[in-house]
Each structure stands twice: as C-alpha cells, then as structure tokens.
Amino acid sequence: MLQLKEVRKSFGKRIVLDNLDLQIEQGEIYGLLGPNGAGKTTAINLICNLLSPDSGFISFNHFPIERIDKRWIGIAPQENLLYKSLSCQENLSFFAQIYGLNKKQRRERIESSLAAVKLSERANSPIDTLSGGMQRRMNIATAIVHQPKLLILDEPTTGLDIETRYEIWTLIQNLSQQGMTILLTTHLLDEAQHLCQRIGIIKGGRIITEGSLSQLRELIPAKEIIVIETEEEEKAIAIGHSLGFTSKYYGQNLAFWLPRQFELKEIIHCFQGINISSISRQSVQLEHIYLEVMNLG
C-alpha cells in the first residue's frame, strides 16, 4: 500500500503540492489525472525518493519511502528510458544489474520480462529497429525486470495508435492481475476509464476528488447525456431548461444532462418545434466528470 499524507512541496515561492493526501491499495490500478502543472510529476519524484517533501509523510507497505528497498518500485517514464544502440536483452541486463540481480536472476527475469511484453523474438534486436509501440513495451519491460511491488507508468501510451494502445492496456491489466500495484498518469481519459479501479483528479497540488468510475458518476446529476445538433440552439436551450435539463457545451457541441433515461421518441417530442439535424445519446463518461470537477475545483 502506498500512502501520501499531508505532503507539501514548494520550489521557491511556488507551492506545487499542497497537503496532498493519496492512498493506493495493493494490487490496484490507480489513475492520477490532472492538467500540466498540477503536481503529478512532483508527486512521482517524491514517491521515487528523487525529491524530499517539505512536510508530510510518504510510506509504502508501512515503511517510510526513504527506507524501502529500491527494488520495490519500478518506473516507466513518459520518455523511453532505453539505450537505442543496445539490444532488448542488453538493455534489460543493464537495468537488472542496477537493481542488484545476480547472473541467474538476470537471465530468468530478462526472459520473463520479454515474454510479458511479447518481445521474446526480438531479444537480440537493437532498440532503434523496433516500432514505437514495441519501444513503449520495452520501456515497461525495463521497469518490471526486477519484479517491483509498485509500478509507476507515466503517460504509457502517449502518441501511439489505437491498436498499440490496446496492446499496452492488455499488458497493464495482466501485470495487475499478477498482483502488481500500479500508479498510472495519463491525459487520455478513456485510458483511465478503461484501466483504473479508482481515479484521483489533482488540481493545484491536491486531490479534489477521487473514487471508482461509478462513484465519480454520482458527481453529475444525470442518468444520460444527449448531444443535439441544431441551428436553433437558443430555442433548444430554452426548451431544455423549461424541462429541468441542464445544458452544457462540450467544445462546440450542445449537450443536455437528462435526469433519467428517455426513449428516443420522448426526446424528439421534448424538442418538437425546432429543426434538429441529429441527436446522439451517451452515458456519463469520465471526460464529462473531469471537465465538471476541474471547473468547480
């Protein structure tokens, strides 16, 4: 279990973490979401013992973070931490030696790590001959070669195509099923929604809300969201408000929060009298929650 209790960190007069409280349970995939500058990277650096907090307490498995075995934590940073002229096997051997694995352990862990990321057949390939997706998987392989208890993944699928993203998602889920605790930072809200048992949203150096997706959905008083395309938006908004619907704009899209799920014919009947080009329906998604929380927090 990872715990941050009332952690503060400043750089000069700038407060980056402001009494941050965070707790991640063993075997959990926890998503930490927030805009750039919210404090995610600083929190990771503190967990990895690369920085010291100004005040507060950080522990892992009930041990102060500065006293734990360095092999308990693995990190795959946003930028691939790989030596491109070396092969996959040579990269893993290098990182395994850093973590103090003996020759027999290195051989076993290199094989199992390559198998975990489905790159066994590319063991002798130089990194610079691998695709972008393969390199991201290798980046994770270097983070798990020493069998950490806590794995930190910083933007693991940024810039990847959708097929490769799904490959990485499957890998992360497999690691979690093996009992590894995972802290995931991402700007891809569908990624957090797909992978994480719990999600924390950080703003201004503190967690402003957290919970499972079902718990976070309770923050929005809507059972369904409809997006309406019409040239008569002002009339549509007036009708929606008269029916008790909350109107929102998501980008250029006019949406309404519905207090219950309506039949399509009911929705059309509600907005009769105006010219509607299209109506789309969707459940409350993490992006809706995130935008609402960030505006309120």
HEC readout, the chain: CEEEEEEEEEECCEEEEEEEEEEECCCCEEEEECCCCCCHHHHHHHHCCCCCCCEEEEEECCEEHHHCCHHHEEEECCCCCCCCCCEHHHHHHHHHHHCCCCHHHHHHHHHHHHHHCCCHHHCCCEHHHCCHHHHHHHHHHHHHCCCCCEEEEECCCCCCCHHHHHHHHHHHHHHHHCCCEEEEECCCHHHHHHHCCEEEEEECCEEEEEECHHHHHCCCCCCEEEEEEECCHHHHHHHHHHCCCEEEEECCEEEEEECCCCCHHHHHHHCCCCCEEEEEEECCCHHHHHHHHHHHC
Regarding whether 234 and 199 lie in a shared domain, the answer is no
- pLDDT of the residue at 6: 97
Task: Enter the tokens of residue 161.
Answer: 């195509």
Regarding whether 51 and 181 lie in a shared domain, the answer is yes
- pLDDT of the residue at 295: 84
Looking up residue 45, the CATH number of its domain turns out to be: 3.40.50.300
- pLDDT of the residue at 106: 95
Regarding whether 199 and 95 lie in a shared domain, the answer is yes
Regarding whether 191 and 258 lie in a shared domain, the answer is no
Strand order in the sheet with 224-230: 246-250, 253-258, 224-230, 276-282
Regarding whether 168 and 264 lie in a shared domain, the answer is no
Regarding whether 206 and 230 lie in a shared domain, the answer is no
Regarding whether 132 and 65 lie in a shared domain, the answer is yes
Looking up residue 288, the CATH number of its domain turns out to be: 3.30.70
Percent of all residues in the chain with a pLDDT value above 70, rounded to a whole number? 99
Regarding whether 193 and 65 lie in a shared domain, the answer is yes
- pLDDT of the residue at 18: 95
**CB neighbours of 29 closer than 8 A, spacing ≥ 6?**
172, 173, 176, 182, 184, 195, 196, 197
Regarding whether 249 and 116 lie in a shared domain, the answer is no
161-195 tens-digit pLDDT: 899 999 999 999 999 999 999 999 999 999 999 99
Structural domain range at position 142: 2-217
Regarding whether 203 and 132 lie in a shared domain, the answer is yes
Flag residues of the chain having pLDDT under 50. Answer: 297
- pLDDT of the residue at 158: 85
- pLDDT of the residue at 296: 65
- Which pTM does this prediction carry? 0.92
Regarding whether 229 and 206 lie in a shared domain, the answer is no
Regarding whether 273 and 188 lie in a shared domain, the answer is no
Q: Give the angle 188-133-190 at the CA atoms, nearest 5°.
A: 15
Domain end: 172, 188, 217, which one?
217
Domain end: 217, 238, 260, which one?
217
Domain end: 157, 188, 217, which one?
217
Q: How many domains does the chain have?
A: 2
